[in-house]
Amino acid sequence: MPDLDAITLYNRLALRARRNGSAEQALLHLSDALRLSREHSRPLLEAHSRNSMGMIYALAGRPELAASCCRDALCLVGRATANNASRRLASTITANLAAFEQV
């Protein structure tokens, strides 16, 4: 379970870095979260981190990278067990993707 705590911590650190205006630091933290999510076969956690990356790229004026991250995240959600959490995450990612693709 310590690795799952680390994934959560990396996501929180990324959010804090994004709020402080450091997109590069946020992306580094999310890269660590992605790595651990993949190592532990946690597609929903990986999808969450990829969606967060998409948000950072969108804020940085990179809608093409934002959309790519969201498409990857949706694929990951599709591989996960369907439940309320996965449906909510898919809905959020779909809305983000639609916004990024309109830019």
Residue ranges per domain, the chain?
Answer: 2-102
- Which residue in 70, 95, 91 sits closest to 82, CA to CA? 91
The DSSP element (H or E) to which 4 belongs, if any, is helix 2-19
- Give the pLDDT confidence of 30-49 residue by residue, as tens digits: 999 999 999 999 999 999 99
Nearest in space to 14 (alpha carbons), one of 32, 30, 34: 30
For 42, phi then psi, to 5°, come to -120, 80
Pick left, alpha or beta for residue 44 (phi over 0 → left; psi -120 to 50 → alpha; otherwise beta).
alpha
**92 pLDDT above the threshold of 90:** yes
Q: Is the pLDDT of residue 3 over 90?
A: no
Please indicate whether residue 79 or residue 76 has the higher confidence score (pLDDT).
76
2-102 CATH fold: 1.25.40
Q: At residue 103, does pLDDT exceed 60?
A: no
With cut-offs at 50, 70 and 90, classify the pLDDT of residue 74.
very high
25-54 in b/e burial notation, b at 16+ Cβ within 10 A? ebbebbebbbebbeeeebbbbbbbbbbbbb
